[in-house]
A and B are shown apart, each in its own frame.
Chain A
């Protein structure tokens, strides 16, 4: 690398040679850019919240005695941010249930937050469905969206059914690819459910009026 031979600035072609000083300045500039990018990354890391054990996000244990009976009204569990629903024969044969979503008897843990814009939908016994007070999304007990601006079914948490020995005898499995959780059948040997609020299965797409893909 040589010093610029000509003191004249380049006219219109970029024939000005790169001097050592200039090159070092650019090198410094690049290193500053890398440092700023690193600082930005560190800032994001810094600003991300950290979760403590036992908060919402951990595993919530529900004894079988607290489960709602099949086809009864859903039961809210506010600390874990979920509704427990028990799907029985009547719910399964609900004519409003869009046929594309498979439905089996058992328990589901529905994440309490509407998948549209984050409000808390509530159970409206008069209409036998969940309704969101903000923008009017409607869901069945089964988690299926049947109306409103939401574009998918409700999200569910992974449930494990545990017997007296502590063995897992049934669990929520993804269905329809990975986008819909199955219900967990409560057999007589089950003594409690473990709801993992850190593991959310996102609801299947559901766009049509009345429900369906």
Chain B
């Protein structure tokens, strides 16, 4: 009557060999299945780095397991050290995974709506255990990833590793660079504070410049979901940040790494004859096997780097505190796009949007993308590539200069009163006044030019900066300029600080500008 019969060969084994032997054999069997082909003795010998016999059991996981089949069985000894890769490709992958993991944690407490996004962030930062740590980790990882990916590209260019047969690997790498930049950029909007909104507004305005006008306008509407950022734009950026871009990233990364493995890691340029590519023909004596050396080392990197990131985020690095809630009607003074887009802003200060903001950057990306298909010189040696390497050095220099030009120090000045006040109370980051020790802000009225007589060192430093900035900003139009700071006791543990700038206009009329800020003893700026 049985519908099916249970057959357990293990029970037969127990009968035949006794419980102890049978259980041991069974445990070995399960272990070997988990390691896809290595029994406990094989694993122990591998970890001890004992000589291996034939057939080599350490190759089995590479052919049978999904995760190990992705990794090469062995590497060239020359690729064993820090040079020439500097582990930058590996690091890029590490940060990609790191960002996905920390990002999933952040998603738990985040809703992409202008109504609650900012409140969610506040809650995450002040109520959720380890919430601030998670945000710091995600932000630090993002900044590191942009830097690492850019350096990876620079390294690949310098060692000539984009040359035949690795052209398409380079193309997928450029796509990954784009994904990295857009991931960082889209994440910028999500906290929905003033910095998010306006930095991303500036960046997204480039889209609008796309010629012809109808295309630019349509693209802009699709990206923002409205003429300006609001609920639609936030939701679209969120979906891009958590779904679309990571998906493109995973696909491009898979292709990229498949190509890396299939062509082999390109050797240092000086290690092979000009025009030859020997990465796939590694002589027996120059092989470093993945197991155990590379595997254990990568595990050690993951452990050490993750520990380092946590230490940095916990004790040294703090993601910038939230600014005021996003306000679509007020643009803060001196706002800029994120640092990795400053070069683009620098170009946009030089020329018009269409030429310098769209055509030139697109052309540049096109040239970089197709570089390996027209730069076909056979030699990867540094000495034979003077023009290419000079061009790379000049590009790095040009990017640095353009980035400076994109910063507020270059050609963005408002009136002297606003500049002097913004030196103490900037609108884009906490700044010296908010970060000053709260206890040292003694009550009273102070004149900046008499900073030396202020009662506390912190006040002296603030007033001196205030005075310097005003003197640097005023011209002959402003007669008898005076900068005044007023510190008042407003409520228990709350001080009101007013910054006031007065002068006499050329026609004799008085001019006054003032701005106030309320500082709490327990605010997150000064550390109380």
Query: A residues touching B (Cβ–Cβ < 8 Å)?
Result: 44, 47-49, 56-57, 78, 113, 116-122, 124, 126-127, 131-136, 148-149, 151, 207
Interface of A is mostly: loop
In chain B, positions 332-366 with a C-beta closer than 8 Å to chain A are 332-336, 345, 348-353
Out of B202, B418, B511, B513, name the residue touching A134 (CB < 8 Å).
B202
| CB–CB B331/A120 < 8 A | yes
In this assembly, does B57 line the interface, its C-beta being within 8 Å of a C-beta of chain A?
A: no
List residues of chain B with CB within 8 A of the CB of A122.
Answer: 331
Within 269-314 of B, Cβ neighbours of A (below 8 Å) are at none
Given contacts A133-B331, A135-B349, 17 further A-B contacts (CB under 8 A): A47-B222, A47-B225, A48-B218, A118-B205, A120-B329, A121-B331, A124-B415, A126-B416, A126-B513, A133-B333, A133-B412, A134-B331, A134-B334, A134-B412, A135-B345, A136-B413, A151-B351
Q: Is the CB of A120 within 8 A of B412?
A: no
Inter-chain CA distance A120–B413, complex, in Å, is 15
Which residues of the other chain, A, contact B412 by a CB distance below 8 angstroms? Answer: 133-136
Bound complex: CA A132 to CA B330 (Å)? 11
Partner of A117, one of B329, B348, B417: B348
Distance between Cα atoms of A79 and B502 in the complex (Å): 33
Question: Please, which residues of chain B bring their CB within 8 A of the CB of A57?
Answer: 227
How far is B411's CA from A102's CA once the two chains are assembled, in angstroms?
Answer: 28
Contact of B415 among A117, A120, A126, A148 (CB under 8 A): A126
B residues 65-112 in Cβ contact with A at 8 Å: none
Q: Does B243 touch A at the CB level, under 8 Å? A: no
Q: Out of A119, A133, A151, name the residue touching B353 (CB < 8 Å).
A: A151
Query: Which residues of B have CB within 8 Å of A47?
Result: 222, 225
Are A49 and B221 touching (Cβ within 8 A)? yes
CA distance A122 to B334 in the complex (A): 13
Q: Does B144 count as interface, using CB distance less than 8 angstroms?
A: no
Judge whether A48 and B221 touch: CB under 8 Å.
yes
Point out the residues of chain B lying under 8 angstroms from A148, CB to CB.
411
- Taking CB atoms, residues of chain A closer than 8 Å to B232 are 49
B-side residues, CB < 8 A to A, are 198, 201-202, 204-206, 208, 218, 221-222, 225-228, 232, 329-336, 345, 348-353, 411-418, 427, 511, 513
Task: Say yes or no: B348 contacts A149, CB within 8 Å.
Answer: yes
Looking at B227, B345, B350, which has the most chain A CB atoms within 10 Å of its CB?
Answer: B227
In-complex Cβ contact of A151 among B198, B204, B329, B352 (8 A): B352
A-B contact pairs, 13 of them (CB 8 A): A49-B225, A118-B201, A118-B202, A119-B198, A119-B335, A124-B418, A126-B417, A126-B418, A132-B331, A133-B333, A134-B198, A134-B334, A135-B412
Nearest residue in B to A132 (C-beta to C-beta)? B331
Q: Is the beta-carbon distance between A133 and B332 smaller than 8 angstroms?
A: yes
Contacts of A135 in B (CB 8 A): 345, 348-349, 411-412
- Shortest Cβ distance from B455 into chain A, in angstroms? 32
Identify the closest chain B residue to A133 (Cβ): B333
Q: A126-B513, A133-B333 are in contact. Are A44 and B222 (CB under 8 A)?
A: yes
A44 to B329, CA, bound (A): 29
Tell me which residues across on chain B come within 8 A of A136, comparing CB atoms. Answer: 349, 411-413
What is the CA–CA distance of A134 and B225 in the complex, to the nearest angstrom?
Answer: 23
Complex interface: chain B residues within 8 A of A56 (CB)? 227
Q: Which residue of B lies closest to A57 (CB)?
A: B227
- Chain B residues near A151 (CB, 8 Å)? 351-353
Which residues from chain A contact B415 at a C-beta distance below 8 Å?
124, 126-127, 131
* Residue numbers in B under 8 Å from A49 (CB-CB): 221, 225-226, 232
Q: Check B348 against A116 for contact (C-beta < 8 Å).
A: yes
Residues on A with C-beta less than 8 A from B198 are: 119, 134
Taking CB atoms, residues of chain B closer than 8 Å to A78 are 329
Q: Are A119 and B349 in contact (CB under 8 A)?
A: no
Across the A-B interface, give the 8 residue pairs with the lowest CB-CB distance, nearest first.
Answer: A136-B412, A118-B205, A126-B415, A117-B205, A151-B352, A133-B333, A120-B331, A119-B331
* Minimal Cβ-Cβ distance residue in B for A129: B415
- In the complex, A132→B412 CA distance in Å? 8
CA distance A121 to B198 in the complex (A): 12
Residues of A within 8 A of B416 (CB): 126
For A131, the closest partner residue in chain B by CB is B414
Name B208's closest neighbour in chain A (CB-CB).
A118
Residues of A within 8 A of B205 (CB): 116-118
Contact B414 A124 (CB under 8 A): yes
Is the pair A116, B329 in contact by a Cβ cutoff of 8 Å? no
Per the bound structure, the CA–CA distance linking A133 and B194 in Å amounts to 13
C-alpha gap A117/B351 in the complex (Å): 12
Interface centre among A49, A78, A122, A134 (most CB of B within 10 A): A134
State whether A133 touches B414 (Cβ < 8 A): yes
- Asked whether, in the complex, the Cβ of A133 is within 8 Å of the Cβ of B222, the reply is no
Residues of B close to A119: CB separation below 8 A: 198, 201-202, 331, 335
Q: Which residue of A lies closest to B329 (CB)?
A: A78
CB distance from A81 to the nearest CB of B (A): 8
Contacts of A134 in B (CB 8 A): 198, 202, 331, 334-336, 412
User: Do the beta carbons of B221 and A120 come within 8 Å of each other?
Assistant: no
- Find chain A residues with CB under 8 A from B335 CB: 119, 133-134
Rounded to whole angstroms, the CA-CA distance of A148 and B416 in the bound complex is 17
CA–CA, A198 and B489, complex, Å: 49
Most chain B CB neighbours (cut-off 10 Å) among A118, A131, A149: A118
Q: Which residues of B contact A118 (CB under 8 A)?
A: 201-202, 204-205, 208, 228
Instruction: Give the Cβ gap from B152 to chain A, nearest Cβ, in Å.
Output: 30
